[in-house]
Amino acid sequence: MSTIPAPKAQLDRLAKLGLFTLDDLVLHLPLRYEDETRVTPLADARMGEAVQVEAEVVSAEVQFRPRRQLVCRMQDEAGHELWLRFLNFYPSFTRQLAPGKRLRLFGEVRPGFFGAEMVHPRFHVVAPGASLPEALTPVYPTTAGISQAGLRKLVETALREADLTDTLPPALLKRLSLPGFSECVKLLHHPSPEYSAAALEDRGLPAWQRLKFDELLAQQMQLRLAYAARRAKGAPSLLPLATLTERLLAALPFQLTGAQQRAWGEIASDLAASHPMQRLLQGDVGSGKTIVAALAMLRAVENGWQAVLMAPTEILAEQHYRKLASWLDPLGLPVAWVSGSQKKSERKKALAAIASGEASLAVGTHALIEDGVEFPRLALAIVDEQHRFGVRQRLALRNKGGAEEGGGGGEARPHQLMMSATPIPRTLAMSYYADLDVSVLDELPPGRTPVLTKLVSDGRRDEVVARIRAACAEGRQAYWVCPLIEESEALQLQTALETFERLTTELTELRVGLVHGRLSGAEKAEVMAAFSAGQVDLLVATTVIEVGVDVPNASLMVIEHAERFGLSQLHQLRGRVGRGTARSVCLLLYAHPLSQTARERLKIMFETNDGFEVARRDLELRGPGEFLGARQSGVPLLRFADLEADAELLDLARKSAEWLLKDHPEWVEPHLARWLGSRRELLKV
Ligand code: ADP
Ligand code: MG
């Protein structure tokens, strides 16, 4: 890996662009191209178009109105005039712009005060008849302090000095009809004259295809290697003893759906292996992930090990705790509860029970990963709503395990199960999540009726209040979600309090509850318990109820200022209703003006109930960077390839990665070195 020959200050700026080595420079491809291969007569220059022109300086003077600027009058051979304006200029400009000098200028022609003008064109002095460049000029992504000319020079150096040897075996190139690497980067950095800027910027060009393929291939190799590295570790092998798991299944008031049975089968077979499971259980809101998690936990316990479930919020963790306790208490299995808001003494007791091994099962919040919690025999760590946690937090939970006597030899680790109600679109699953095994619950428990979604302008708030009255009169319950105010938590709280007061006075006959993020854990738990028990008719809430909350009798969801919420949030919130047999309704109250994306989001919510469809369109709206959220920190985003547009290339890259790793491993390292180079260390999480 050869370093870039440049002074320290320059290197620091290049680092900001992610450019550390000559290889990085070779892969720093132009955003677009400028055509300096021909001179356009001024008479033919169209307004608003960037062109190269040649003209002679007639006069140049510094003016002070409206501000200090250098104004220069030019004339070309045909006698057409052009004005130049420079708001920033060096003393040397007056020498270069002396009357009679002939200039080659590149810039956009605009209508100015005196006539056609160029503001801050690029220019240089030329002799009459000076030759023109033969190729288009590349324009690179750059940052303050690095000029295009400077970057071009560095890239030229890199193209001369870096090793451009192909990292793909010739047989593969031939099979996929891809051009050679060196040929491609040379073409894109200084294209030959027969290419137009449009042709080069079209990412369907074979040279672009090749580079996008390379990028995707590196990503796929990286993920597969991470996957293999994990499989090389040891983990406790949990046998299908089916003592406790069978008893739980027999005691349930329902039968597992086909999808749940399938997912449980996949998990059970992973748990039986002597290397750590790394599986994502994915299922739309309400698909019944919790029981699958409970079965996995019991599998650990019936084998004499411990299992832990961590959830991102107090409310959700508490609810899991209640549910698990209601299933497992009858089996004589105590569940330890660990949360940040519980009394010190209670927490101490729970921790002691975990540490002594007396408690085999634990449920809790982030408090579980704080120092001082030790699991002597942890075999399974489950993370609910995994995307809410960062990479580091998930690792911390895994590292709580003291599973030192795992099978497979070497360092032993607990099995990991992640759960998410945010379905991952296929292209993301194939790329960013390719290092995970995935089980999907694609079937809802029977007897659910799809939620009916309605968009209601906030001018019709009275009708909404009347609907709540009617639903509660029939013995049903309702949620009212207060507007999200991202900029200020205090303001959000205030709004929630005001909404609560207003609804309390409007609906005097109803029992109205309020839950928000500033309540203590115990207070929240109390309100939620009352709502679950039917002692509260209408629950006014902030987004604290977004994930996982499960009260089947609630059949009406009102979301105020729905236009402020993101798509996955709206889908999660909507998922709080439609959990029982009653027809459920979700009312999205919105206020004008609606931005284009807000309008688009509401439309998607109106059009579909399907979590996969919502996620796919969300990905389209936001792009993978935002969609991936926390996961992003562990996986590099793609620079050239586009997951949706290049789905076919991704497929090829995946197959090729498999083939190379298996049959031609000697090609793997050079390819990764070129594409991930200096970023590889970062990716070892
Ligand atoms: P989520 O996947 O959103 O976490 P939950 O695990 O909270 O869903 O399940 C939603 C509800 O469905 C719970 O009340 C749960 O007890 C119930 N449930 C789960 N599986 C079944 C099933 N197979 N048949 C009937 N009800 C089920
Ligand atoms: Mg859940």
How does pLDDT run across 333-362, given as a tens digit for each residue?
999 999 888 888 999 999 999 999 999 999
Ligand 1 proximity of 290 Cβ (cutoff 6 Å): yes
Q: What is the pLDDT of residue 141?
A: 87
| Sheet of 585-590, strands arranged across | 452-457, 585-590, 554-559, 477-481, 538-541, 512-515
When pLDDT is averaged across residues 71-77 and rounded to a whole number, the result is: 92
For residue 456, the tally of other CB atoms under 10 A from its CB is: 17
Most confident of 9-18, 108-117, 434-443, 581-590: 581-590
> Is 342's C-beta closer than 6 angstroms to any atom of ligand 1?
no
Question: Residue 187: what pLDDT?
Answer: 93
Question: What would the mean pLDDT of 644-658 be, rounded to a whole number?
Answer: 90
Structure confidence at residue 151 (pLDDT): 92
Residue 257 CA: nearest ligand 1 atom is 23
Distance from the alpha carbon of residue 492 to the mean position of ligand 2, in angstroms: 25
Cβ of 256 less than 6 Å from ligand 1: yes
Q: What is the pLDDT of residues 211-232, one digit of tens each?
A: 999 999 998 998 888 888 888 8
User: What ranges do the domains of the chain cover?
Assistant: 8-29+140-191, 38-132, 243-441, 452-608
Q: How far is the CA of 469 from the centre of ligand 2 (A)?
A: 29
Ligand 1, atom 24, lies closest to the CA of: 445
Residues 267-279 pLDDT 10s: 999 999 999 998 9
- Could you identify the residue written with the tokens 């005691």? 251
Instruction: Give the pLDDT score at 684.
Output: 45
Q: Give 17-54 pLDDT, tens digit per residue.
A: 888 899 999 999 998 898 888 899 998 988 888 899 99
User: Taking residues 472-483, what's their average pLDDT?
Assistant: 94
Cβ of 320 below 6 Å from ligand 1: no
User: Regarding the domain with residue range 452-608, which homologous superfamily does it belong to in the CATH classification?
Assistant: P-loop containing nucleotide triphosphate hydrolases (3.40.50.300)
Q: Can you tell me which residue has the tokens 């029992």? A: 511
Residue count (the chain):
685
User: Is there a shared CATH topology between the 243-441 domain and the 452-608 domain?
Assistant: yes
- What is the predicted pLDDT for the residue at 199? 84
Residue ID of nearest Cα to ligand 1 atom 17: 288
Per DSSP, the three-state class of 258 is helix
pTM recorded for the entire structure: 0.72
Q: 207 pLDDT exceeds 90?
A: yes
> What is the distance between the alpha carbons of residues 315 and 545, in angstroms, rounded to a whole number?
7
Cα 319 to ligand 2 centroid, rounded to whole Å: 9
Most ligand 1 atoms within 8 A of CB, residue of 287, 324, 419, 547 to mutate: 287
Residue 405 predicted with pLDDT over 70: no
Confidence band for 64, pLDDT divided at 50, 70 and 90? confident
283 lines ligand 1 (CB under 6 A): yes
Half-sphere exposure of 546 (CA within 13 A, CB side): 22
pLDDT digits (tens, 9 = 90+) for 410-465: 467 899 999 987 777 777 777 777 778 889 998 888 877 789 999 999 999 999 99
The verdict on the CB of residue 324 being under 6 Å from ligand 1 is no
Return the ligand 1 atom nearest residue 323 CA: 16
Nearest CA to ligand 1 atom 18: 288
| Fold entry, domain 243-441 | Rossmann fold (3.40.50)
Predicted confidence (pLDDT) at residue 647 exceeds the cutoff of 80 = yes
Q: What is the CATH architecture assignment of 38-132? A: Beta Barrel (2.40)
Helix (H) or strand (E) holding 309: strand 306-310
- Whether 1 shows a pLDDT value over 70: the answer reads no
Is the pLDDT at 565 greater than 60? The verdict is: yes
